[in-house]
Structure 1
Amino acid sequence: MSFAPPDVVSDRIWGIDPAATVNASLASQRPLGLLLLSQHVTGAVAALDSAVASLATLVGTSEPSLRLLLALLVGYPIAVFHRLAVSGAPSVVQNAFFFGCGVVLGVFTQGWDVCHALVCILVQYLVLVACGKTYVSPLFSVVFQLAYLLFGYWQTETEDYNFSWTLSHCVLTLRLIGIAFDYYDGQQDPETLSKEQKLNGLRRCPSFLELGGHALFPASFLVGPQFPMKRYKFLIRGDLKRIRDSEGYPLSPPLGVALGRLVLGLLYTGVYVVGSGYMPVDYAASDDLLNRPLWQRLCLLVVWAKVSVAKYLSCWLITEGACILSGLSFNGFEEQPDPKDPTKTITKAKWDGCRNIHVSVYETATEYQHMILCFNTNTNAWVANYIYKRMKFLNKKHVSHMVAMAFLAVWHGLNFSYYVTFFNEYIIISRERDFYDLLDRSPVYKYWFSKKWVRYSLKPLKVLWLWFGLSYAVIPFLLLSTDKWWRVYTSLYFHIHVVFLSYPFLKPSLKKWLQVPDEQDSKKKD
């Protein structure tokens, strides 16, 4: 026999169910618990915001810039945590982990504007499911994703650069368009595809979490680099763990290489922070510069351009290190000389799959083409694979090149200055290629350039000419305001435009002076 407490007996006598009373009491406590949790979260967010604002004031930078830098640095602990605790989990867990981390970093840097990214990811997923195997998918993706990005540019446009959700959304736009093309390519006959299309083609439609994890991969969704879904799948499947190095040990991302990119990125960050204190982005249009003699203006513009561009290098190097640490950057093997025995070679893993800047080439370049090959390389490769090479049906290389440049200009924004910048790039690159083609066929050039003293003497001059031209070409891109860059160009007498636009008229005289044989003078038409 069991006995109930007196109060329970009393409740039963009066028709009150004790269990119901307890449940009601618990239910009444739930809103209070949620309220307390909400207050704690709000307090933590407020404390974080206050700490970031104080730190930004302390180091003398803007809060959005500091948030971006902190978000890039967080990519390193995220990569380590994934390797140690998440990499062995099912793919759905890993995709959710990367997707969730990306959303959190998006909220930290953009606030609730990260919802723009989520909307575009959802729309892209629905398009892939509905018509991903047809040409409608890549066509719709280009139109919709680019239109959404342009809407964002129109909504947030100012006369100067500002941090907004479009900063990361331009990276997301290319990534989502690329997935649409890759899934479409995966359904085609392999015999009709290029090498890159075969390599990146997707046979199966990605799940929503998979799409989100790839699109918002924490180490790359804010500032790049671009990488295909196939590379992301390689990481999620854990294929890296099954690869052995030359000594038979399991391959592991090199911590030293990753930290080396981080240190180099922080050095360029320091160059930008210190340099921009003396030469802010508006310095090129300042009276202090424009009232100087022409030779001083040209030299100071070179320094100003290098300082201004350093911020891009710093971001790409920091993100590259995080990608290396995660294992995403693995890019196969290559043969290298054995340091112990130069007569032998050893097989070493390459970790440059997410490299967006080749620093050594950038700092020693002597030709404009070198900059195309070393600067923002993953974006350039994306445009080459998904835009330029898909224009081959036009059978005109220069037209394909112009279409690619136009796409890049539109992708950057609606500001007229972007179109001027890419026009500058087009005329400089095309004229340089044509000029070097003349040199390659010139016996005069070959004779003199075969002498070491001539080559060594010309190199510093070529470096100066390169940076005089580059600093001139990027002025509209960095200043944005038409009034500002027009004032600068006027003070420089449009000298780079004069040189390169007059090249077709000077070409006959150059050919005669360089003694290019007439029978080799004709070039293949595009």
Structure 2
Amino acid sequence: MVAVSNLFLFACFTKWQVLKVYIPIATCYMLARAFRKEWWMPVVNFIVVVALLSVSHLYRQFGPGADVNSYSLDITGPLMMMVMKLTSFAFDMHDARRWSMRRPSRPVPTTEDITKAPPSEKTSKGPIVEPASKFAVIRKYPTVLEFLGYALLFPGLLAGPVVPFYEYRTFINGTYFAGIDVTRNALTGRKRRALYLFIVACSSLVMYVCLKPLFEPSYMFHPDFMSRPWWYRALYVHMSNLVFRSKYYFAWMMAEGSYVIIGLGFRLSSTKKPLWDRLENVNPIRIESTADFRLLVSQWNVFTNQWLNAYVYRRLQKYFGKGTSSSRASMITYIVSSLWHGFYPGYYLVSASAAWMTLVSRSMPFASLYLLFSDLQEYYMAVWQPVQENRVLRPHVYAS
């Protein structure tokens, strides 16, 4: 896996850019190994790897040859994925020690224990293992080769999604399907799922290539655009958003298909039916049909949302305590999300607006708006149209 990932990296980037990937990997590994017993280790690791990412963001934005009006492939994409992997790894290492200290008579939980543990199991100081450990804690420190294999796992190297370390470890040591009757009939659907992802990804790429020249976001700043009928402007904004999202559909679904092909992404449904959608990072049908802003945000780049929720939001909630912890934690989490994306002003405008919209949607439930309409279809279209126009998220388009 390390060799394949290096082929990807050296084919797409320069030697200096590839070195930028290895610097945070080495830093995290040595920091976590030397200070694994210190409570501040995951926090310092978080700050260091985000700082290294920020340097690359600033170089891309202000360095020699930078052009804010165009996009070129650079190393910041893989570095963003690396931040998610390395920060989650450090926190999961820390959570394993906390579990052992607080419950010395009990073994560190396994993957199955974590997923089945009741969420109400707490001590006076909060959850035994942070909600982050919705992904399992790491009981045994990995070897250099094992850690490199995880950090450079090729399906999600360039754009994600990122799998937790415990899942990678069970996959390479042959226990990924432990407890499951691994027969030809028990694990059906893998090739079918991979083919579906490939078809949808290629369709999204064709849509992006063919329609992007017709729905350029820059045209919305042209005086001629405002002279158009309102229905034309609404349709243009909607199609511009759809075309913008299609390139991400292509990248994420191709990556998910790569995971499925090598055997990752398996889960059993409540009826014990084998499914291969556990690493689904985006669902185009849900995204394009939803009329709920919160659902739109949560279903977009799912694994990044999980990372922010588990390793930033929930831990900030515990730090701030009761009262206004939720709103402050939400705002800081959106700021961290913007910092992770880069330093273009549009990211921070989106964060401030999205945080406000999220708080409003919590205080005004989605279903309560139905009281304003007499017909369900009128209600759905009235809510769906502004949500899909994404005026709150438009600056993100211009910053990408």
Is TM more than 0.5 here? Answer: yes
Q: How far apart are residue 232 of structure 1 and its match?
A: 0.6
Once residues 480 and 333 of structure 1 are traced to their aligned partners in structure 2, the CA distance between those partners, rounded to angstroms, is 39
How do 1:352-501 residues align onto structure 2 when only pairs under 5 Å count?
A: 352-392=277-317, 393-394=319-320, 395=322, 396-436=325-365, 439=368, 445=371, 454-468=375-389, 470=390, 472-480=391-399
Query: Aligned to 1:219, what secondary structure does the other structure show?
Result: helix
Q: How far apart are residue 475 of structure 1 and its match?
A: 2.3
Once residues 147 and 361 of structure 2 are traced to their aligned partners in structure 1, the CA distance between those partners, rounded to angstroms, is 41
**Which of 275, 294, 301 is equivalent to 2:211?**
275
| Alignment-derived partner of residue 146 in structure 1 | 50
Relative to structure 1, is the Cα distance of residues 282 and 326 closer, same or farther in structure 2, using a 3 angstrom cutoff? same
Answering whether residue 85 of structure 2 is matched by residue 175 of structure 1, we say: yes
- Contact persistence 1:245–1:348 (CA under 8 A): no
Q: How far apart are residue 350 of structure 1 and its match?
A: 2.6
Once residues 206 and 240 of structure 1 are traced to their aligned partners in structure 2, the CA distance between those partners, rounded to angstroms, is 17
How do 1:206-245 residues align onto structure 2 when only pairs under 5 Å count?
A: 206-240=142-176, 242=178, 244-245=180-181
Structure 1 unaligned segments of length 5 or more: list them.
Answer: 1-97, 336-346, 482-526
- Contact persistence 1:333–1:349 (CA under 8 A): yes
Give the aligned residue type for 2:393: V
Give the aligned residue type for 1:298: A
Relative to structure 1, is the Cα distance of residues 459 and 246 closer, same or farther in structure 2, using a 3 angstrom cutoff? farther
- Contact persistence 1:186–1:198 (CA under 8 A): no
Relative to structure 1, is the Cα distance of residues 179 and 240 closer, same or farther in structure 2, using a 3 angstrom cutoff? closer
- The root-mean-square deviation of aligned C-alpha atoms, in Å, is 2.4
Give the aligned residue type for 2:380: K
Q: How far apart are residue 434 of structure 1 and its match?
A: 1.9
Relative to structure 1, is the Cα distance of residues 123 and 195 closer, same or farther in structure 2, using a 3 angstrom cutoff? closer
| Alignment-derived partner of residue 159 in structure 1 | 68
Please identify, of 472-481 and 176-185, the stretch whose mean Cα deviation from structure 2 is larger.
472-481
How do 1:55-74 residues align onto structure 2 when only pairs under 5 Å count?
A: none
1:334-391 per-position Cα deviation (integer Å, ceiling 9, x unaligned): 31xxxxxxxxxxx212322211102221121011012123211111011000000001
Answering whether residue 11 of structure 2 is matched by residue 108 of structure 1, we say: yes
Higher relative contact order (CA 8 A, sep 6+): 2
- Contact persistence 1:262–1:317 (CA under 8 A): yes
- Contact persistence 2:291–2:380 (CA under 8 A): yes
Q: TM-score, normalised by structure 2?
A: 0.84
| Alignment-derived partner of residue 262 in structure 1 | 198
Relative to structure 1, is the Cα distance of residues 139 and 103 closer, same or farther in structure 2, using a 3 angstrom cutoff? same
Give the aligned residue type for 1:462: V
Query: Aligned to 1:187, what secondary structure does the other structure show?
Result: helix
Structure 2 unaligned segments of length 5 or more: list them.
Answer: 62-66, 104-121, 123-127
Q: How far apart are residue 288 of structure 1 and its match?
A: 4.3
1:165-210 per-position Cα deviation (integer Å, ceiling 9, x unaligned): 1122111111111111111111112661145426421011122222
Relative to structure 1, is the Cα distance of residues 371 and 198 closer, same or farther in structure 2, using a 3 angstrom cutoff? closer
Once residues 192 and 335 of structure 2 are traced to their aligned partners in structure 1, the CA distance between those partners, rounded to angstroms, is 40
Query: Aligned to 1:151, what secondary structure does the other structure show?
Result: helix
Q: How far apart are residue 134 of structure 1 and its match?
A: 1.8
1:422-458 per-position Cα deviation (integer Å, ceiling 9, x unaligned): 1121122222232227928xxx93xx88xxx722332
Relative to structure 1, is the Cα distance of residues 252 and 107 closer, same or farther in structure 2, using a 3 angstrom cutoff? farther
Once residues 84 and 77 of structure 2 are traced to their aligned partners in structure 1, the CA distance between those partners, rounded to angstroms, is 13
Once residues 287 and 181 of structure 2 are traced to their aligned partners in structure 1, the CA distance between those partners, rounded to angstroms, is 30
Give the aligned residue type for 1:391: L
Once residues 378 and 272 of structure 1 are traced to their aligned partners in structure 2, the CA distance between those partners, rounded to angstroms, is 23
Q: How far apart are residue 291 of structure 1 and its match?
A: 4.1
- Contact persistence 1:333–1:350 (CA under 8 A): yes
| Alignment-derived partner of residue 79 in structure 1 | none
Relative to structure 1, is the Cα distance of residues 285 and 234 closer, same or farther in structure 2, using a 3 angstrom cutoff? farther
Once residues 130 and 55 of structure 2 are traced to their aligned partners in structure 1, the CA distance between those partners, rounded to angstroms, is 33
**Which of 276, 298, 306 is equivalent to 2:242?**
306
Once residues 301 and 313 of structure 2 are traced to their aligned partners in structure 1, the CA distance between those partners, rounded to angstroms, is 16
Give the aligned residue type for 1:229: F
Give the aligned residue type for 1:284: M
How do 1:196-207 residues align onto structure 2 when only pairs under 5 Å count?
A: 196-197=132-133, 199-207=135-143
Give the aligned residue type for 1:108: A
- Contact persistence 1:240–1:251 (CA under 8 A): no
- Contact persistence 1:242–1:250 (CA under 8 A): no
Q: How far apart are residue 109 of structure 1 and its match?
A: 1.4
Once residues 333 and 290 of structure 2 are traced to their aligned partners in structure 1, the CA distance between those partners, rounded to angstroms, is 23
Identity percentage of aligned residues: 20
Once residues 14 and 226 of structure 2 are traced to their aligned partners in structure 1, the CA distance between those partners, rounded to angstroms, is 40
Query: Aligned to 2:270, what secondary structure does the other structure show?
Result: strand
1:380-413 per-position Cα deviation (integer Å, ceiling 9, x unaligned): 0110000000012312111111111110011111
- Contact persistence 1:220–1:226 (CA under 8 A): yes
